[in-house]
Structure 1
Amino acid sequence: MIKSNSRLKDTKKKFTKNELKERIEEKLATRGISKPEDATDEQMYHAVVYAMKDIMLDYRTEFKKRIRATEGKRVCYLCMEFLVGRSMKNYAMNLGIYPELCKLLGEYGTSFEKIFACEVDPGLGNGGLGRLAACFMDSLSALDYAANGYSLLYENGLFRQKIVDGEQVELPDEWIPNGGAWLVPRTEKSLSVRFGGKVEEKWENGELRITYTDYDEVKAVPYDMLIPGTTTNAMNTIRLWRARQPYSTLVNFQSSQSSYVKKLSDHDNAEIITKQLYPPDDYDEGKLLRLSQQYFLVSASLQSMINDYLAEHGTLAGFKDSVA
């Protein structure tokens, strides 16, 4: 496995308050905010996240170069959930910018605590399995191992509670509009996952030809969550797959009404795969949905691993020695 010989040595770049100020104010300016003091806490939160994410992406680029040069084995960890929790404070500490960031936010008339309060828990995990998976990824980065986590980008977590007229009401946990700021879209690496269908085998000129037809296709769109090391420059990722219909359901306004309705139905059936973390499984449709989630995760993740390896090496000859 890829591991630095000096993994406990802190070699991170030291960012000054002025360097952080320049990065954050640049992000605010792109949102039309010329004076940091005029930004709301939520606007400042997003500016800080995007500035930190740029720093993390720089580390990620350098870490990937080191991975290629070392040519060791990398860990690939698949799990149905990662309970990562709120990230800003841990990431700021891991990047070594927490003290200067606190000072800068104070000069802006706010505080780190106020900005941190804007962050929501990502709806990516629920219990001990998810927390263990997240801790594995944190530890692998802290120990300078190369690792990639893989899971699903659930649109809703389990649920959030609200009291209405003295009664508890369960509502969808729509966390992405706020908590999704940490995600790095990798739409150029989208893949197709096929469900159902039939396989036909035919011998032609002494060769076996296999044809796969009548399948349902779902697009797997990846989003990366960066995981920085504490005392190392390691920057691993958790790749989260979001299910999407591979074509627009609204492109053909000339189609018949029945065809149009079917396209809408296909669209909903595709995207329901990553709609909710742990959908109810006390009925057959729920069990099938959970199985579809697991198949979707495994298929997309394996395709991604193979494609990345082929892009670097051109052959799968050494795949088993490079991926664990």
Structure 2
Amino acid sequence: MFSSKERFAALFLQRLEMTCGKSFKDSTKLDQYKTLGIMVREYISSNWIQTNEKSRSNSGKQTYYLSIEFLLGQLLDQNLINLGVRDVTEAGLKEIGISLQEVLDIETDAGLGNGGLGRLAACFLDSLASLNLPGHGMGIRYKHGLFEQKIVDGHQVELPEQWLKNGNVWEVRNADQSVDVPFWGHVNVSDQNGRLTFRHEHATLITAVPYDIPVIGYDTGTVNTLRLWNAEPYIHHHETDILSYKRETEAVSEFLYPDDTHDEGKILRLKQQYFLVCASVKSIVNSYRKTHKSLYGLHKKVSIHINDTHPALAVPELMRILLDEEKMSWEEAWHITVHTISYTNHTTLSEALEKWPIHLFKPLLPRMYMIIEEINERFCRSVWEQYPGDWKRIENAAITAHGVVKMAHLAIVGSYSVNGVAKIHSDILKEREMKGFHILFPKKFNNKTNGITHRRWLLKANPDLSAMISESIGERWIKQPEALIDLKSFAYDAAFIEQFQLIKEKKKQELADIIFCTSGVVVNPESIFDVQVKRLHAYKRQLLNVLHIMYLYNRLKEDTGFSIHPQTFIFGAKASPSYYYAKKIIKLIHSVADKVNYDPAIRGLIKVVFLENYRVSLAERIFPASDVSEQISTASKEASGTGNMKFMMNGALTIGTHDGANIEILERVGPDCIYTFGLKAEEVLSYYENGGYRSREYYQHDRRIRQVADQLINGFFEGEADEFESIYDSLLPHNDEYFVLKDFSSYLDAQERIQSDYRDRRKWSERSIENIAHSGYFSSDRTIREYAEDIWGIKPME
């Protein structure tokens, strides 16, 4: 099929007519995209079948990665690259007058995730397949994903994300492997020959239908599977109100993260989580049963990994199968469960550690609640035996307490491994947030610093830079990213630096063109591209960035002798629909942009841009064009971050706090190649514990802070006098929870160092290349090898 451009072109034309039922001259770009996608899927079908057979017959273990999000981005280009057929495809299409890039641009980003959690899961799938490891993903096939972001008068507006409107060429519906998921009803307990039996009766059933997507490894025959579950009505349903039942059923897989402000939304989120877990665990068990008579050896052949707490119900669901269907004793079932399930914690934020009200949980999932109650009872009893009389310890560690089910506690107690995602994050979990559990289970806790797939974020996103790297150090880095360290010897090579600068200039011009086309703002490609793209959250401190821009604007207006190298501040972020404060930050960014961008007194020295609807395909255009990477979260709050790694891999220099993986970047590149500032984690945690921080003191003693804070409420933004009161209140009356004012002066100092250093373009480029050279450590290949060896116990397939 892809043996030569001529053969490919002939087969493409033939397949196009067969697939679309129209001649080539009448075909659209969408027809051409679908035809090419189908050809790729057919091309890998035998490898896909063989990989599945190998996974099942493999003498070792296989891993199933359960995640509420998989932020895949576009797949066609990556698949062509991984298969090694991109060049012949491009040449073949050119023969018949088609631009490959125009076809690639037709693909819609898969709407299956929100931010770092989902993108990490996607990177992990790529690395599993590329390393020939038997590992598959399991998630939900959201009809609309999160939302499509539109900006209207500076405000975020959410529209349904219609990523499936033209179908999904990669998915294969496998209705024969559907699973029924029960909700509501009650559990009938009876005694049969001295053994209690449990029957879930009068449940409302929903059918989970699997849609499988191939995950193609780079230059390998391995094609793993991402299985996504779609919620559909149970075929034998007998409810009288069928329309209401249909609506409630389809809502389960309609949107990612439905608003949980009210009980109705909480119930829907909990439904989603059990839907994912029940369907996935049943599917795993059904697959295992095809080659094994009993489930007693399940934990020796299967590893189930839960990505954050959303799939934590895998613990009681596996227990249910082993107890109710396999008739095992509690001790047998528990031994298998806690040797099958492993858990990644992604946050230290207490509000992000899920807690479900028992009054909602118990009627919706009656059998799950019974099992969790029993797990909690036995766990608390074991704690009592170790620490008799220590009621406080038991209260703090309990899975059910104070009217809620604590999902993180369930995940820790019911798993054999608990890992953080950066060294500092794992240390905080062990020493503070989960200290009680670490004392009880010291061997469970470990660290696995996050990584990103360099094949998407460098090879695909930045082909010019990738080609230059391969010309300089060979292609070994594509399969062994740690070989990027060989670039260190080119960091001071004049010819290499010149070529690197030309590539950066080209990427900046391309991004400048995108900015103009999407927002109408003209930016200077020779300016410093200072970029903060990530989820909008108070702890990520987009506000600190904005207040610095306001300070620069004020100084340029007041001091005619003050000048800077032109700097373009680029933002991209979605705020959760119900997160009022985050939406106000988006509005503030736009108000500042309106003020700055069109003021002739500023002479174009600063520009502010907000890129609408931030997503993977847009990120691939942003990272290669960036000069400065904003990683300015409050220390101790960002578990790891992966955007910092993507910027680093494309030669941007980090300005960041001592938080998450920033610390490990600093350890590798050294203090001259990164701009660190602000409080350290232990100082932040000490303030939270002991108090002593008064934001008003910084407001009173620093004129710069006082000026920008007052501008939020004093009419500085015409016609918006009370628009930003909530932001002002967060900083002063509410005492600045995330230490924006405390770190303000230190952040300004770091920005001034950037301004000074950027003027020496050669030295800046040397530091950029040093960053790229050290970025190989942050490949997800390294991370996945660590998971495979230290947690899952899986080995590459032959």
Q: TM-score range by the shorter chain?
A: 0.7 to 0.9
CA distance in 1, matches of 2:236, 2:144: 22
2:77 pairs with 65, 89, 99, which one?
A: 89
Cα deviation, 1:13-51, whole Å, max 9, x if unaligned, reads 973334434543343222354643432111000000011
Indicate if the aligned counterparts of 2:126 and 2:215 stay in contact, CA closer than 8 A.
yes
Aligned-pair CA distance for 1:167: 7.6
- Going from structure 1 to structure 2, the CA distance change for 1:26 and 1:169 (only over 3 Å counts) comes to same
Deviation larger for 145-154 or 157-166: 157-166
1:143 pairs with 118, 128, 131, which one?
A: 131
Equivalent in the alignment of 1:270: 249
Whether 1:134 aligns to 2:112 is: no
Classify the secondary structure of the residue corresponding to 2:113.
coil
The answer for unaligned runs of 5 or more in structure 1 is: 1-12, 253-258
Aligned-pair CA distance for 1:165: 9.2
- 1:219-230 matched pairs, under 5 angstroms: 219-230=207-218
Aligned-pair CA distance for 1:66: 2.9
Indicate if the aligned counterparts of 2:172 and 2:213 stay in contact, CA closer than 8 A.
yes
2:172 pairs with 184, 207, 210, which one?
A: 184
CA distance in 1, matches of 2:165, 2:236: 22
Equivalent in the alignment of 2:231: 243
- Going from structure 1 to structure 2, the CA distance change for 1:14 and 1:196 (only over 3 Å counts) comes to same
Equivalent in the alignment of 1:59: 47
Indicate if the aligned counterparts of 2:52 and 2:224 stay in contact, CA closer than 8 A.
no
Equivalent in the alignment of 2:144: 156
- Going from structure 1 to structure 2, the CA distance change for 1:264 and 1:137 (only over 3 Å counts) comes to same
Indicate if the aligned counterparts of 1:121 and 1:179 stay in contact, CA closer than 8 A.
no
Q: How many residues align?
A: 303
Q: TM-score, normalised by structure 2?
A: 0.36
Equivalent in the alignment of 1:8: none
Classify the secondary structure of the residue corresponding to 1:226.
strand
Aligned residue type for 2:227: R
Whether 1:298 aligns to 2:277 is: yes
Whether 1:319 aligns to 2:307 is: no
- Going from structure 1 to structure 2, the CA distance change for 1:128 and 1:113 (only over 3 Å counts) comes to same
Equivalent in the alignment of 1:102: 90
Aligned-pair CA distance for 1:309: 0.8
CA distance in 2, matches of 1:158, 1:201: 40
Indicate if the aligned counterparts of 1:220 and 1:244 stay in contact, CA closer than 8 A.
yes
Classify the secondary structure of the residue corresponding to 1:182.
coil
Cα deviation, 1:51-92, whole Å, max 9, x if unaligned, reads 111112221112223334432111110000011101111100
2:287 pairs with 291, 308, 314, which one?
A: 308
CA distance in 2, matches of 1:145, 1:243: 29
Equivalent in the alignment of 1:256: none
Aligned-pair CA distance for 1:190: 0.7
Equivalent in the alignment of 1:15: 3
Classify the secondary structure of the residue corresponding to 2:172.
strand
Classify the secondary structure of the residue corresponding to 1:125.
coil
Structure having the larger proportion of residues in helix: 2
Cα deviation, 1:83-123, whole Å, max 9, x if unaligned, reads 11011111001011101100111122111111011100010
Q: What is the Cα-based RMSD across aligned positions, in Å?
A: 2.3
- Going from structure 1 to structure 2, the CA distance change for 1:23 and 1:300 (only over 3 Å counts) comes to farther
Deviation larger for 233-242 or 280-289: 280-289
CA distance in 2, matches of 1:37, 1:101: 19
CA distance in 2, matches of 1:30, 1:45: 14
CA distance in 2, matches of 1:313, 1:95: 34
- Going from structure 1 to structure 2, the CA distance change for 1:166 and 1:248 (only over 3 Å counts) comes to farther
Classify the secondary structure of the residue corresponding to 1:157.
coil
Aligned-pair CA distance for 1:154: 0.3
Aligned residue type for 1:308: S
Aligned residue type for 2:94: G
Deviation larger for 143-152 or 69-78: 69-78
- Greater RCO (Cα-Cα under 8 Å, separation 6 or more): 1
1:48 pairs with 36, 42, 46, which one?
A: 36
Cα deviation, 1:209-231, whole Å, max 9, x if unaligned, reads 43321111000010011111112
CA distance in 2, matches of 1:274, 1:20: 38
CA distance in 2, matches of 1:38, 1:83: 34
Equivalent in the alignment of 1:195: 183
Deviation larger for 143-152 or 53-62: 53-62
- 1:271-290 matched pairs, under 5 angstroms: 271-290=250-269
Equivalent in the alignment of 2:66: 78
Q: TM-score, normalised by structure 1?
A: 0.86
Indicate if the aligned counterparts of 1:122 and 1:179 stay in contact, CA closer than 8 A.
no
Classify the secondary structure of the residue corresponding to 1:66.
helix
Indicate if the aligned counterparts of 1:37 and 1:108 stay in contact, CA closer than 8 A.
no
Cα deviation, 1:279-323, whole Å, max 9, x if unaligned, reads 111222111111111111000000000001112223323211111
Task: Report the identity percentage.
Answer: 37
- Going from structure 1 to structure 2, the CA distance change for 1:22 and 1:246 (only over 3 Å counts) comes to farther
2:206 pairs with 215, 218, 221, which one?
A: 218
Classify the secondary structure of the residue corresponding to 1:217.
strand
Aligned residue type for 2:213: M
Deviation larger for 28-37 or 152-161: 28-37
Equivalent in the alignment of 1:4: none
Indicate if the aligned counterparts of 1:79 and 1:151 stay in contact, CA closer than 8 A.
yes
